[in-house]
Structures are given as C-alpha cells and as structure tokens.
Amino acid sequence: MIDIKILRENPEMIKENIRKKFQDHKLILVDEVLKLDKESRELTLMCDELRMNRNSISKEIGGLMAQGRKEEAESKKQEVNKINEKLAENEVREEELKEQIKERMMKIPNIMDDSVPIGKDDTENVENEKFGEPVVPEYEIPYHADIIESLGGLDKESAGRTSGNGFYYLLGDVARLHEAMIAYARDFMIGKGFTYCIPPFMIRSDVVNGVMSFEELEAMMYKIEGEDLYLIGTSEHSMIGKFRGQIVKEEDLPITITGYSPCFRKEVGSHGLEERGLYRVHQFEKQEMIVLCKPEDQMDWYRKMWSYTVEFFRSLDVPVRTLECCSGDLADLKVKSCDVEAWSPRQQKYFEVGSCSTLGDAQARRLSIRAKGEKGNYLVATLNNTVVASPRGLIAVLENNYQKDGSVKVPEVLWQYMGGTKILKPKTK
C-alpha cells in the first residue's frame, strides 16, 4: 500500500504506474480515493471546529452557573448536546470514509522501481544472467516422476486416496534427499548470518491482508473453516507478521531471518495441478529468507538475496539463471522482483525454483512496522526470497545429477545430511 500523501501530490504518477502494469481498470480507484480523501479531510476540519465550539461553550456554562444564571446555562447545554449529536454523526461518517479509502488504497499497486522492464505478462520477463553451463547429456533424461518412482521414492496413487490430486508421498532415499536439501539450506543461510526460525504455520486474516494482495489471497490461501486462521503459503507470511505493530530499534537493522515451513497453496488459475509430477502441488516444504532494513538499503539487500539462491543451487551442481519480472508479472505489493530458474536437461529449458522481491514499505505500512531513528519513526523496507522450495528444488537436483544407468549422484554438500550416501540407485523390480 502506497503513502496517500504521494497519491494526493502526484496522482498522475500513480496512474502511469497502473498503466505500466496494464491494470487500467484500477485507474478509477485513484480518482475515487482523491474524492473520498477530500471529503474526509473536510469532515475532520468540521469536527475540529465543532469540538472547539463545544469547549468554548462549556467554559461559558461554567461561568454562567457560577453567576447563578441557570436558564442561560441550560440553553447553552442544549447547544452542546446538538454539537455532540452532530459530532457523533460525523464520526460515523469519518469511519466509513476511512474504510472506503483503505479498501481502495489496498488495491492500488505499489510504485515499481524504474529499472523494472515493461511487459504485459510473464512471457515478457527478461533474462539477466546465467550461472553454470547448461548441459544436455547424450542419454535421455526421464520425466522427474519416473526418476523418483524408479528410485522407489514416490506414491501419488495413495496420496490421491488420502488427500486428492496435488498431494504425494515421498519415500526412502528420495524423501531423505528432499529433507537433506532443506537442512542444507538452513545451515547455508545460518552461515550467511541469518537467524533460523520455525514460524507458526497458520496466521490471522489481519496478517494475511498485511503481507499480500487480494488477488494473491484468492488464488493461494486455504481458510480454516469457522476460525480466523489461514494456512501459510510461505513462511515469509508469518515471519513478516511477527513484527506487526512493532517499533524496532534502528541499530537492530537489518533484521535477517531464514525460516522453514511447510507451505499450502490452492494453485488456482491457468497453470493448474500436475496429474503425475511434483512441479505444481498443494503442499511442499520451503526454506525462505526475509530482511527488514532501512529503505535506502533495500536494493543492496535485494541483490545479495538472489545471489545467495544462485550460490546455493550452484553448490548442488545445478545451472541457473535470473529472470527479471516485467511490470505485468509483478504482484501489486512488489517494487522489484526476479525469479531464479534452474536448468532442466530433460526439457532443455529453465524453470522457476525461487523468487526474490523487495516490497519497499508496502507491507510495513499495512502492518505498521516501524524503526525508531534519531529523526523519529519511519517505515522499514521488507524483502523476501526463496532459498529452496522442494519438490521443485528436488526436481532440479535429480535431473542435473541423473546418470546413464538410472542412478542419481548426490551433490557433495549433501553427503553429511544423507549419512554418507553418495549415489541413489534404481530399485530392482
């Protein structure tokens, strides 16, 4: 959510930002906010004047009573009662206006960074840089679900009976490899100076509304029936929510946290769920990183954070690239975002394994997260980035370490988490 002062002072800039995101249907929101805000400020002035009059008349009443002029005092009391009635009426309208303004401001997209490329959707995202040489072996790389099944590691049929489409059982060495990646990601980020966190896996609606846009909420979140609780789609949600309504000390910035959580997502939309594979599912595990920092430091942290994910995947022998998200693919709260994509030797193309974003002060404004500095309190900047989300990360490791005989090499950095196992071998039928 942007600062309403910016909208008041430069509504055309806000409208141009909306046009660049190809959301022309939201242009009317700017005019509606300006109109409601004008009425709200006029009403506030009126209420201030009424209160001043009430205070003045109240003083008169005291003087009249002291002089024994009771009838005149009673007349003045009637004036005070009328003022109180008008104030009560105006205060109700003030609250209505406040909610109407907030509702619209929550839908107006954040101001993008000038460096964001302009494009309508994800087909117009821009490749930034490649890391590692993408290799296509002479032998065929099977579909990832077939690789996992050959290793005795996947049972979607049983998961379909227990939970439905979009769920899975991981078994044996594959399940162990999955957890080894998560454990390694934890230690990798601790090594970067981040504090490890296991957050709540359910959050209240006020936190949900603080960390994401309405469009994301509808497409992602599972609501707990009968309770004001949602299952998290990423640990970022509850890690940022941890600071709701807090004033942190400036000397404690930046705050850097890496969180583990299971993640739950509806996956509503055009992508749909995969019948056989594990690329798009309802439940997965993730190691995430978040940063709270001074606004002027956010771009430095943005570059550091995506570079950590690149470094992580390169240590797993997985070639990756970074892809700059264009304006039309940028979620409304984001200032700038890029995806980290892993090389798929089977598909001979890259696929998304993580996303890094800076949201400026949008989440901090919604959740009232401020820092106390020498010149007063100010809203912090918040950033988030995926270290690894599995099974997507698992797919990348399996494909890039698949051998001609059907075995899979375990990346060296994971040996200690696999009890020394260095290679996964197909199960004999």
CATH code: domain of residue 65: 1.10.287.40
176, 73: one domain = no
Would you say residue 191 has pLDDT above 50?
A: yes
207, 301: one domain = yes
Question: In the prediction, which pLDDT does 246 show?
Answer: 97
Question: In the prediction, which pLDDT does 272 show?
Answer: 54
62, 34: one domain = yes
Which amino acid is residue 345, in one-letter code?
Answer: P
Would you say residue 146 has pLDDT above 70?
A: yes
Separation CA 185–CA 172 (nearest Å) = 20
Would you say residue 427 has pLDDT above 90?
A: no
Helices (H), 109-171: 144-150, 156-162
Q: Is 395 within the bounds of a domain?
A: yes
pLDDT band at 271 (very low <50, low <70, confident <90, very high): low
Mean pLDDT over 321-327 rounds to 97
Q: Is 233 within the bounds of a domain?
A: yes
Paired residues of 222 in beta bridges = 231
Mean pLDDT over 368-383 rounds to 95
Q: Is 226 within the bounds of a domain?
A: yes
List CB contacts of 299: < 8 A, sequence separation 6 or more: 113, 336, 358
Q: Which of residues 105, 134, 163 is at a domain's end?
A: 105
Would you say residue 266 has pLDDT above 50?
A: yes
Give the distance, in angstroms, between the CA of residue 426 and the centroid of all CA atoms in the same chain. Answer: 39
CA distances 152 to 172, 238, 289, 425, 429, Å, are 7, 35, 32, 9, 10
Q: Cβ(287)–Cβ(260) under 8 Å? A: yes
Q: Identify the CA nearest to 400 among candidates 362, 347, 344, 339.
A: 344
Q: Is 429 within the bounds of a domain?
A: no
Separation CA 227–CA 210 (nearest Å) = 18
256, 213: one domain = yes
pLDDT band at 147 (very low <50, low <70, confident <90, very high): very high
Lowest mean pLDDT among 108-122, 214-228, 310-324: 214-228
Question: What is the C-alpha R_g of the chain?
Answer: 28
Separation CA 255–CA 239 (nearest Å) = 11
66, 163: one domain = no
Would you say residue 15 has pLDDT above 60?
A: yes
Helices H, strands E: what count in the chain?
A: 13, 18
176, 34: one domain = no
44, 100: one domain = yes
Q: Cβ(294)–Cβ(380) under 8 Å? A: yes
179, 282: one domain = yes
386, 259: one domain = yes
Q: Is 400 within the bounds of a domain?
A: yes
Question: In the prediction, which pLDDT does 81 show?
Answer: 87
What 3-state DSSP class applies to 69? coil
Question: In the prediction, which pLDDT does 364 show?
Answer: 96
Q: Is 113 within the bounds of a domain?
A: no
Mean pLDDT over 363-385 rounds to 96
181, 53: one domain = no
CB atoms within 10 A of CB 330: 24
Give the distance, in angstroms, between the CA of residue 283 and the centroid of all CA atoms in the same chain. Answer: 17
Question: Which residues span the domain enclosing 49?
Answer: 4-105
Separation CA 206–CA 367 (nearest Å) = 8
Place of tokens 């990832």: 144
What 3-state DSSP class applies to 371? strand
Q: What percent of the chain has pLDDT over 70?
A: 97
Q: Which of residues 105, 134, 154 is at a domain's end?
A: 105
What 3-state DSSP class applies to 165? coil
Mean pLDDT over 139-143 rounds to 95
Q: Cβ(288)–Cβ(386) under 8 Å? A: yes
Separation CA 358–CA 324 (nearest Å) = 13
Would you say residue 232 has pLDDT above 80?
A: yes
Would you say residue 159 has pLDDT above 90?
A: yes
Residue 59 or residue 211, greater confidence: 211
Would you say residue 270 has pLDDT above 50?
A: no
Mean pLDDT over 224-243 rounds to 94
61, 128: one domain = no
Residue 79 or residue 177, greater confidence: 177
Mean pLDDT over 141-152 rounds to 95
Would you say residue 129 has pLDDT above 90?
A: yes
Q: What is the DSSP letter of 406?
A: S
Q: Is 115 within the bounds of a domain?
A: no
pLDDT band at 429 (very low <50, low <70, confident <90, very high): low
Separation CA 246–CA 259 (nearest Å) = 20
Q: Identify the CA nearest to 312 among candidates 180, 416, 413.
A: 413
Question: In the prediction, which pLDDT does 53 show?
Answer: 86
Would you say residue 269 has pLDDT above 90?
A: no
Residue 337 or residue 55, greater confidence: 337
pLDDT averaged over every residue in the chain: 93
Question: In the prediction, which pLDDT does 112 show?
Answer: 97
Question: In the prediction, which pLDDT does 428 show?
Answer: 67
Total domains in the chain come to 2
Identify whether 254 is preceded by a cis peptide bond (ω within 30 of 0). Answer: yes
Which amino acid is residue 82, in one-letter code?
Answer: K
Q: Is 112 within the bounds of a domain?
A: no
Question: In the prediction, which pLDDT does 368 show?
Answer: 96
Separation CA 414–CA 100 (nearest Å) = 53
Separation CA 120–CA 78 (nearest Å) = 62
Separation CA 390–CA 263 (nearest Å) = 10
Residue 168 or residue 66, greater confidence: 168
Question: In the prediction, which pLDDT does 157 show?
Answer: 92
132, 261: one domain = yes
